[in-house]
Structure 1
């Protein structure tokens, strides 16, 4: 089901909370772009339009947004071991790679403030739809819209707690400028709200397949990811492994999703809503964006340097040498994920590792979309569900179970393709310790989910981010310097602009 979004500019007061000053013009809404929530929510159609506006906000912050707030790109990959950020890349992104940023970096503020803008949008939808009387909306529409809004709010807070750790927890819409000096909640409190939002949503969502509209399976998969993150560092709530395995197993047993036979087809522009897509952030382009900040930049950020007419990109993200070398030479994922030289040349390079570049979302030759590429962002794929289940089931049982091996070997079999199963991407065999199996999971997620925005979260919960970043293999031609990561940098700082305006806020330790 394709969802076409019409922008509804609802209240965004948490953005005001974080601004260094309050401009009177910012508080004045013109009649052409503002509808009071009290006057707007007249029927189910109005409620759906408001929800569509919330989906539009998801475009802005979840993946590879052109509005420099896309979490998958800025947090998930910059400062992880998938991409090299060349010296000519904009300074802010280089400092993320080098772990040399300060709290004043605009990226920290943009991600923070725009998330709270969308959280308040979600709060408005939830509060206003809850208050609608029976003559305005039927019970079925109310339950579904509230479920989708809560699931989206839960996903936004999941981003924020992993990125900033201690946060203000705001779950009611803000309609005035009173009592804006919020205090921070501990991460356990934030996670409790996320779990409540997602479990409440699951009960009222339908179980259908790949779509931009959220389903029960999509939210269960996210809840599994939430539990898996809680089981690792920094919370170390190991009882959550069993809960994660339960959620992933429900998605697997639903028989709604399956692996695409051909790995390349997973990312094909003509096959976007395939059966492997569990949670999808849809984009249409060119020229079909909402306000210029929801552009999908997948084909530009993650395209190799070269002519846009040949399907190339900006050349500001190069593939890490270690990533390319980690692939079995017969792994079908290698040539889908890595380009060798400039687009559209995907032959093995004879010029050395300085030619390794991302290629997962290659643009068809002859398309020059520039900043506005039409690729959907797959927030959760079925392959990640299988890998999450393998890890969680093994950890919950204290041994590498048959179920865990079957799940990871499904992913590996697809990567092997038609090559010899005894020599190419061989099945993982019984007999591994838990520690050895986590090493295998680490490597498999590295290869399968490369450039999809999950790597930093994985490395953090395994306690491997700092050591990994401080022991990278340099690439001489494009290496901007050696990262110098410190333990406190598993979290971003609270943006300086937030601290300046709200004396109740405290900086994360170490910053």
Structure 2
């Protein structure tokens, strides 16, 4: 018997509570930092506290978090050509790498459940703050809180539609267990709501940089990502590429963001809210977060082999040597992204232990520092390099040719990676003379290198219809090889959790499952 049966399993819409399976009639509030709505929304301070709760919810689902529920980790990274999962890794993560998961896999249920928990909290804030009068909150503050909440809801539904495709689209606060037989919305309807939420947020939010809250640029950058996805598989609405280029271009034109000169400094935990960060999922730690499901695992998942107390990481993710081989040898990003030797000797030089010891790195822990599962690293959901590369791809696709603007954007990223090396020999700048398809391939490879381990690879492979081909050709690379992945087109969409289908007959499983 499971300890709890959550509302999201019953109807895909949790109501800020959990049900005890030992006593289904007993409703108990979740012991967390999230607030129940009754008699709470009295003034602007209460509205800000409620908004802070939504940001805490973002920690639980968006990046690399405790409890194996972060979308960037489980969906964006696992089952890609960035990491290899060894045979002794947790069964759920190993299944994701091998593409042999099924509707009963616990992590697929957990990701689904937590998203709807957070969406219902957002809907509560939108409803309750929206009803607050002028005597309780100013129009300006109310509009700002609502805009940030809408952007967060858009980000969660963007996750759900990419992972599960047809899901319930719930936009109203739910306070009880009545009328819970929700049906699934078509992907186009979900994307339309995501666009609507972000468009309304953009109209209100102010430009800002070096902040952890959602600014106008953050919402514009996410909308650009949404349009870029809509242009690819499965919708293939190619007219959206122009919209994507417009949104990314607006972020660039705002002059709010810039690439840091030193690639490694982008990920320094003492300098995380830097000029390159557009949308940040901010974590405090160690030992600061209230709920273990909000803790950041970046510093230990992405770490060299060895002992945790010597600055090492977990032994459940190895570097895909394909990624290391794709870097040019003088690409400055290579030594930041690849740990070639075990801790604490990780900085000794290249390839000191051979590929069997290569680990993903990037978020480099001070040595010694055993943070375990609770690191202080923020997750960079969208950074400026992502915006530049998104613009380069979208602009070229929209125009059907390689424009100077697209070339300029990608060359900025390559110039930073080149450093002081000779541009005629290292990361040679691209020109408008490149054929369109060759340029698109170049942008996608640049994304592979620049954004490694940041949770974007799976989305890029799926939207460009390359996931099955890439993962089918992934070869044995290390002594920890667990076997070849078994990708298939239908597996590009996660199945609707079986427990949800069992409890809500109105829902239908994705094709192929």
How does the TM-score come out when normalised to structure 2?
Answer: 0.95
- Indicate which of 419, 434, 437 corresponds to 2:436: 434
Alpha-carbon spacing, 1:407–1:35, altered in 2? closer, same or farther (3 Å):
closer
Contact 2:35 2:53 survives alignment (8 Å)? no
1:84 is the counterpart of 2:84? yes
Instruction: Name 1:317's counterpart in structure 2.
Output: 317
Instruction: Name 1:411's counterpart in structure 2.
Output: 413
Structure 1 residue 88, shift from structure 2 partner: 1.3
Structure 1 residue 32, shift from structure 2 partner: 9.9
Instruction: Name 2:472's counterpart in structure 1.
Output: 470
Instruction: Name 1:506's counterpart in structure 2.
Output: 508
Contact 1:232 1:461 survives alignment (8 Å)? yes
Instruction: Name 2:95's counterpart in structure 1.
Output: 95
Alignment deviations for residues 68-121 of structure 1 (CA, whole Å, 9 cap, x no partner):
110000000001110000111111111111111111000110000000000000
- Indicate which of 11, 17, 38 corresponds to 1:17: 11
Contact 2:10 2:503 survives alignment (8 Å)? no
Distance 2:49 2:26 in 1: 24
Contact 2:19 2:27 survives alignment (8 Å)? no
Instruction: Name 1:333's counterpart in structure 2.
Output: 333
Distance 1:356 1:447 in 2: 16
Distance 2:26 2:217 in 1: 40
Instruction: Name 1:50's counterpart in structure 2.
Output: 50
Instruction: Name 1:6's counterpart in structure 2.
Output: none
Distance 2:19 2:472 in 1: 35
Contact 1:321 1:473 survives alignment (8 Å)? no
Distance 2:483 2:489 in 1: 19
Alpha-carbon spacing, 1:361–1:381, altered in 2? closer, same or farther (3 Å):
same
Distance 2:190 2:32 in 1: 36
Distance 2:57 2:173 in 1: 16
1:399 is the counterpart of 2:401? yes
Structure 1 residue 435, shift from structure 2 partner: 1.2
Alignment of 1:226-241 (within 5 A): 226-241=226-241
Distance 1:504 1:464 in 2: 33
Instruction: Name 1:165's counterpart in structure 2.
Output: 165
Unpaired runs of 5+ residues, structure 1, are: 1-11
Segment drifting more, 36-45 vs 241-250: 36-45
Alpha-carbon spacing, 1:358–1:476, altered in 2? closer, same or farther (3 Å):
closer
Contact 1:54 1:122 survives alignment (8 Å)? yes
SS in 2 for 1:168: coil
Count of residues paired in the alignment: 500
Unpaired runs of 5+ residues, structure 2, are: 1-5, 13-17
Contact 1:87 1:478 survives alignment (8 Å)? yes
Distance 1:398 1:58 in 2: 37
Distance 1:26 1:207 in 2: 46
Distance 1:261 1:34 in 2: 39
SS in 1 for 2:381: strand
Alpha-carbon spacing, 1:133–1:490, altered in 2? closer, same or farther (3 Å):
same
Distance 2:504 2:228 in 1: 33
Alignment deviations for residues 198-219 of structure 1 (CA, whole Å, 9 cap, x no partner):
0000111110102111100000
Structure 1 residue 472, shift from structure 2 partner: 0.7
Alpha-carbon spacing, 1:115–1:32, altered in 2? closer, same or farther (3 Å):
closer
Alpha-carbon spacing, 1:311–1:33, altered in 2? closer, same or farther (3 Å):
closer
Alignment of 1:265-304 (within 5 A): 265-304=265-304
Instruction: Name 2:245's counterpart in structure 1.
Output: 245
Instruction: Name 1:202's counterpart in structure 2.
Output: 202
SS in 2 for 1:76: helix
Alpha-carbon spacing, 1:130–1:400, altered in 2? closer, same or farther (3 Å):
same
Contact 1:151 1:219 survives alignment (8 Å)? yes
SS in 2 for 1:280: strand
Alpha-carbon spacing, 1:340–1:27, altered in 2? closer, same or farther (3 Å):
same
Distance 2:340 2:333 in 1: 14
Distance 1:34 1:429 in 2: 51
Alpha-carbon spacing, 1:34–1:407, altered in 2? closer, same or farther (3 Å):
closer
Distance 2:33 2:195 in 1: 34
Instruction: Name 2:422's counterpart in structure 1.
Output: 420
Distance 1:146 1:27 in 2: 29
Alpha-carbon spacing, 1:327–1:168, altered in 2? closer, same or farther (3 Å):
same
Distance 1:200 1:108 in 2: 31
Distance 1:26 1:472 in 2: 50
Structure 1 residue 31, shift from structure 2 partner: 10
SS in 1 for 2:193: helix
Alignment of 1:361-400 (within 5 A): 361-400=363-402
Alpha-carbon spacing, 1:190–1:292, altered in 2? closer, same or farther (3 Å):
same
Distance 2:363 2:324 in 1: 16
Contact 1:280 1:376 survives alignment (8 Å)? yes
Alpha-carbon spacing, 1:217–1:33, altered in 2? closer, same or farther (3 Å):
closer
Distance 1:34 1:358 in 2: 34
Structure 1 residue 67, shift from structure 2 partner: 2.0
Alpha-carbon spacing, 1:133–1:444, altered in 2? closer, same or farther (3 Å):
same
Distance 2:440 2:76 in 1: 20
Structure 1 residue 33, shift from structure 2 partner: 7.7
Contact 1:14 1:174 survives alignment (8 Å)? no
Alpha-carbon spacing, 1:241–1:145, altered in 2? closer, same or farther (3 Å):
same
SS in 2 for 1:27: strand
Instruction: Name 2:490's counterpart in structure 1.
Output: 488
SS in 1 for 2:292: coil
Distance 2:197 2:298 in 1: 29
